[in-house]
Amino acid sequence: MKKEGKPVDTPMDKLDQAIKEAVRNNGTPSALEGLNFSNTEIAFVDKTDAELKKAYWLFKMMNKPWLVNMGTRMGIPAVRMGLPFVDSMVRKTIFYQFCGGRTLLESQRTIERLAKHKVSTVLDFGAEGKETEEDLNRTMNETLRAIDFASSISEHAVVSSKFTGMARFGLLEKIQSGAPLTEAEQQEYENVLKRVDSVSHAACNKGVMLFVDAEESWIQDPIDDLVNKMMARYNKERPVVFNTYQLYRHDRLQYLKDSFKMAKEEGFFLGAKLVRGAYMEKERRRAQERGYPSPIYPNKAATDEAYNAAIRFCLDNFEQIAVSNSTHNAESNLLMARIIVEKGLKRNHPHLNFAQLYGMSDNITFNLADAGFYVSKYVPYGEVRDVIPYLMRRAKENTSVTGDMSRELSLIYKEMERRGLA
């Protein structure tokens, strides 16, 4: 029986079904001949046999929940305590799988290797959760250096920034709570504004784009506020500053639409980076502990639906919205590729970006790039002590709860078999 009020078999429903079918069969919809996410030869084209074997070993280690739990519990304090052997152990194992290097210069080789296969880089100085004014200024200075560096290496240069590297978490939390700021805190906020404006201004001047990460919902309002100010100031001629929309939050699809309305009224380009969201467990736990409704959708299907609706919304308005489809989800990547092809848009249009994290989902990145789409890798860099929280999140993400091979591991294994290495 048909459900009342729900249209069935719209062209989009059919498209979704075709994509789901294609993903299930490891094939591709006909409009996307030549794009095949299960082609591991293209996916690992930049990996030598030795690199592939090392990646296999690493993902196999990360597949063990007990090892990752132990590593994540002990890793961050051990690195922060400055134990020298821990630093070198991290560098010999997980570091180069997920990071470009310790410095910009060290990351250059990674950037060039990606560029050789038509993959752009989003440079990401890995600092987060900084507290002292000295550290917050250091992040700003590093971000300015990254903008300089990025502008010298590519025409599609992008730098990513986490505002908790430039603003104290507690300050953002207090602003969102609505509690009045002391005089010292007001001054502190002025300093934050200056830092954020400096990096946005530099990005605008140097022809670089600045992607601002989304973080926990209880500090996101002041981050949105800062990013909206910067977009209104610097996105008049072209998209420079991008906000991130976490579609696992049930208010964000509407917020994206409201942001676009505001951008149109005020006459600037909306920069929209779409993600599902990285802090689901933390968000739900806090909501439960403090007795407020969880901001996260109750299930994955609802998040997926909102995410794909956001892609459609951005593509329907692509002339005024520059979108970065930042996901490892095959369906969402195929959906955007399919819409681009069906609308007859330029595959490498600068407003139509796909992005994955360095060291993950190479099957999506390199196959999209091979098919002529504009794809980027997020390449974090920094000292081990700065990037360790990021590395621990990547390790957790690649752990198997069921004991099955992770997605990455099975792809690497498939390529090893193809090369006769398995």
Ligand X SMILES: Cc1cc2nc3c(=O)[nH]c(=O)nc-3n(C[C@H](O)[C@H](O)[C@H](O)COP(=O)(O)OP(=O)(O)OC[C@H]3O[C@@H](n4cnc5c(N)ncnc54)[C@H](O)[C@@H]3O)c2cc1C
> From the CB of 236, what's the least distance to ligand X, in Å?
24
- Could you tell me which residues come within 8 angstroms of residue 59 by beta carbon, excluding any fewer than 6 positions away? 398, 406, 408, 409, 412
User: Shortest approach of ligand X to residue 355 CB, angstroms?
Assistant: 4
Of the two residues 110 and 303, which places its CB atom closer to ligand X in the complex? 303
Nearer to ligand X, 86 or 323 (CB): 323
What residue ranges bind ligand X (CB under 6 A)?
Answer: 213-214, 244, 246, 248, 275-280, 296-297, 299-300, 303, 326-329, 355-357, 378
In the complex, least distance from residue 267 CB atom to ligand X, rounded to whole angstroms: 26
User: How far is the C-alpha of 400 from the C-alpha of 316, rounded, in Å?
Assistant: 37
**Least distance from ligand X to the Cβ atom of residue 193, Å:** 21
CA atoms within 13 A on the CB side of 247: 25
Distance CA 16, CA 29 (A): 10
Six token digits for residue 352: 């139509």
- Cβ proximity to ligand X: between 39 and 325 the closer is 325
Q: Which is nearer to ligand X, 33 or 251 (CB)?
A: 251
- Calculate Rg over the CA atoms of the chain: 21
Q: In the complex with ligand X, which residue's Cβ is closer, 86 or 242?
A: 242
Q: How far is the CB of 407 from ligand X (least distance, A)?
A: 9
Listed residue (412, 420, 421) closest to 40, CA to CA: 412
CB of 347 to ligand X, least distance (A): 19
CB of 276 to ligand X, least distance (A): 3
Q: How far apart are CA 226 and CA 230, in angstroms?
A: 6
- The set of residues, in sequence order, having a beta carbon less than 8 Å from that of 333 and lying 6+ positions away, is 37, 325, 327, 354, 364, 368
CB of 125 to ligand X, least distance (A): 14
Q: What is the spatial distance between Cα 210 and Cα 124, in angstroms, rounded to a whole number?
A: 10
Nearest to 335 by CA among 299, 300, 376, 364: 364
CA distances from 283 to 277, 296, 329 (A): 10, 7, 21
Quote the CA–CA distance of 216 and 42 in Å, as a whole number. 36
CB atoms within 10 A of CB 69: 13
